[in-house]
Amino acid sequence: MKLKQLIIVLVIILFPFISFSQAIQYTIKGTVNPQYNKKIIRLYYTKDNDEKFVDSTKIDNGRFTFTGKLDRPVAGKVTLGNEDDGDRIDLFLAGGTVNVSTKDSIRYATVAGGEMVKAYEQLAKVIRPLDDKLINGLLFYKQMPEGEAKKAYIKKLMAGFDSYRFQKREAIHKFLAENPDSYVSLYFLNKNSPQSLLNYEATYPFFDRLSERIKQSPLGKELEGRLLTVKGKLTGEQFKDFVSTTPEGTELSLKDVVSKNKYTLVDFWASWCGPCRKENPNVVKTFNAFKDKGFTVLSVSLDDNGSKWKAAIQSDGMPWYHVSSLKGWKEPAAALYNIRAIPQNVLVDAHGKIVATNLREETLYNKIQSLLN
């Protein structure tokens, strides 16, 4: 192949990644009601290093403009007032011009721009109402006077937080399935998967649906690297057997449990662990659905108080195998699996192979369902 032809081919191959790897220039042009003249409007977004960027300008003759440079596309928002309690609209900065237009409140503005901006607006129609409901609820809470009513309100608000997370995650996954070649799909899959909550089993199947063009972008490679890291060194290895003590005082080995079932979830928890107790209903649901198809659970407690351990088992309705040496963080079984935080779990098949780790929420149910149905 001649040099000129080779250059042309390389340009064609590399062109899709130019906007992902070079600094991009953005412009936001806003048209608002002249009643806002002389008021300060602010732009917020978070950079790659988690540093928060803030810019501000005055509205003049019903118009405002922001310009700047980014290393890669990012979601941001413009607000009248403060970031948390101001009149606001979120938007996507991906190079080029974003037009924001409204005759009323900023939150009701029409946002228009290039391909990524249009894609973001499609997703925002679903997730914006979810975010607004939560944010407005928190703002209302902040304004309430101290007292029992305020305590009851925040308790009710937080009780609905799991539903909010689930609905937002489902909206992002649906959008991704319909738009696998959109950078917006990758951006929000990554944004909805912070390192502290990243789960390989829950996230990788959706990452894998993305087009190769998107996967090979810098952000795509970063997310894939994080996913492979949290996949865990144990997946694919043989289980490590241990013997510990049941609530009745008898000895039980993991080997005995594994040999009698198609799949065994080794679940590390403790009665004093809030996130563990919150996760227990998900394990109960999965156990009840698949216990007759060859699935069981062996819970290993990091308790040091036998009475509290047994009371939690009874209270949470956990009718499966339980063991603990009642040595707290010095639990030998936990040390064997290098457990340094809970809840954590490993899923072992009948041959003793670890097939997955840290299955939580609906991911646990879906994984067992896929294996046994």
Q: Are residues 270 and 331 in the same domain?
A: yes
Write out the two tokens for 288.
């009840």
- Listed in sequence order, the residues at least 6 apart from 282 whose beta carbon sits closer than 8 Å to its beta carbon are 360, 361, 362, 364, 365
* Host domain of residue 284: 243-372
H or E stretch covering 8? helix 3-21
Taking the C-alpha atoms of residue 269 and residue 313, their distance in angstroms, rounded to an integer, is 11
Q: Which of 113, 137, 160 is the last residue of a domain?
A: 113
Q: How far apart are the first and last CA of the chain?
A: 52
Task: Verify that 252 and 213 share a domain, yes or no.
Answer: no
Asked if residue 257 and residue 297 are part of one domain, the reply reads yes
Q: Does residue 155 lie within any of the structural domains?
A: yes
**CATH code, 31:** 2.60.40
Would 127 be classed as within a structural domain?
no
Judge if 227 and 344 occupy the same domain: no
**Residue 258 located in a structural domain:** yes
Q: Looking at the structure, tell me whether residues 90 and 179 fall in a common domain.
A: no
142 falls within a domain: no
Residues 270 and 338 in one domain: yes
Residue 8 lies in a domain: no
Residues 251 and 355 in one domain: yes
pLDDT average per 10 residues of sequence, the chain (373 residues): 40 40 85 92 86 93 94 92 78 94 90 95 93 87 90 87 87 95 95 75 90 95 88 82 96 95 96 93 96 97 96 96 96 92 93 91 91 90
pLDDT at 226: 87
Look at residue 157 in the predicted model and tell me its pLDDT.
Answer: 87
The residue length of the chain stands at 373
pLDDT of residue 15: 39
CATH number at residue 346: 3.40.30.10
Q: 82 with 105, same domain? A: yes
**Secondary structure (3-state) at 27:** strand
- Concatenated DSSP letters of 42-78: EEEEE-TTSPEEEEEEE-BTTEEEEEEEESS-EEEEE
Question: In terms of domains, do 207 and 280 share one?
Answer: no
Domains held by the chain: number? 3
Q: What is the pLDDT of residue 314?
A: 96
pLDDT, position 85: 66
How much is the pLDDT for 5? 45
**Co-location of 187 and 269 in the same domain:** no
**294 occurs within a structural domain:** yes
How far is CA 188 from each of CA 168, 194, 198, 209, 269, rounded to the nearest angstrom?
Answer: 10, 11, 13, 14, 31
Q: What pLDDT shows up at residue 197? A: 65
The answer to whether position 274 is within a domain reads yes
Residue 130 counted as domain residue: no
Same domain, 181 and 255: no
**What pTM was estimated for this model as a whole?**
0.72
156 and 38 fall within a common domain: no
pLDDT at 10: 36
Domain's final residue, options 113, 135, 165:
113
Please identify, among 93, 113, 133, the residue that sits at the C-terminal boundary of a domain.
113
